Amino acid sequence: MKKVYDNATDAIAGIADGAVIMLGGFGLCGIPENCIAALVQKNIKQLTCISNNAGVDDFGIGLMLQQKQVKKMISSYVGENAEFERQLLSGELEVELIPQGTLATRCMAAGYGMPAIYTPAGVGTEVAEGKESRVFNGKEYLMEYAFDADYAIVKAWKGDTAGNLIYKEAARNFNPLMAMAGKITIAEVEELVPEGTLDPNQIHTPGIYVHRIFQGVDYQKRIEQRTVRTRP
């Protein structure tokens, strides 16, 4: 059971035009930088990307948008990306905007083997159009399907050769949910260690969900909104 790959290029082998890909991260926090760079380099096209955001113009998924690699984006918030907004308003890019909790929970459902979930988010709005709804205890809920993604690409802080993952701080976000949800899950980590090294009590994503893992290099970890106080 060899899960360890040398680099991003090897780890994304097999991803072809038209694939449905989940990409972890919130804004630029916790995004799989190495795999995005490899997808850009291989210039794989017609992708459907499920990711909370679409990066910024010159980083993250924004790099894939610049090359017009993305056919459809499924996201909750795209406010920081002018190229994205341009492609969306011009109709070049198909976009499905869905509530953030719905996005997260549809990933979770896929990883938990549940075909659908019920959520009140979006009831009475255009998000509800064409969706089945049901009333529980006097409140209306929308039925939302679990995602069906060919690949999930996530970023973790530490991982081991068995595929177990630990995330750092708010870089956890969508990563563990998407890690559970891919038919093939690819994890890039800042530090890859031999199995048996990580404390089993601290594992966020058990290795059963992870098919390919590699140690990433040259992390930029860009900050979108640098906000600081002056030191007293």
Partner 1 sequence: MALDKNQIAKRIAQELQDGYYVNLGIGIPTLVANYIPAGMDVVLQSENGLLGMGPFPFEGDEDPDLINAGKQTITTVPGSSFFDSAMSFGMIRAGKVDLTVLGAMEVSDQGDIANWKIPGKMVKGMGGAMDLVASAKNIIVAMMHTNPKGESKLLPQCTLPLTGKCCVKKIVTELAVLDVTPQGFKLLERAPGITTEEIISKTAGKLVVEGEIPEMQL
- Tell me which residues touch partner 1 (CB under 8 A): 26-30, 52, 75-80, 85, 88-89, 95, 97-105, 107-108, 119-127, 157, 167-177, 204, 221-231
Kindly state the smallest distance separating residue 15's Cβ from partner 1, in Å: 24
Tokens of 174: 């969508």
CA distances from 37 to 62, 166, 177 (A): 11, 22, 22
Kindly state the smallest distance separating residue 120's Cβ from partner 1, in Å: 4
Q: Checking DSSP bridges between strand 139-145 and strand 116-119, what pairing results, if any?
A: antiparallel
Kindly state the smallest distance separating residue 10's Cβ from partner 1, in Å: 26
Of 15 and 22, nearer to partner 1 (C-beta) is 22
Kindly state the smallest distance separating residue 232's Cβ from partner 1, in Å: 8
Q: Checking DSSP bridges between strand 139-145 and strand 133-136, what pairing results, if any?
A: antiparallel
> How many whole angstroms separate alpha carbon 213 and alpha carbon 91?
36
Nearest CA to 21 among 45, 55, 56?
45
Of 69 and 81, nearer to partner 1 (C-beta) is 81
Of 44 and 51, nearer to partner 1 (C-beta) is 51
Q: Checking DSSP bridges between strand 149-160 and strand 165-166, what pairing results, if any?
A: antiparallel
Of 15 and 110, nearer to partner 1 (C-beta) is 110
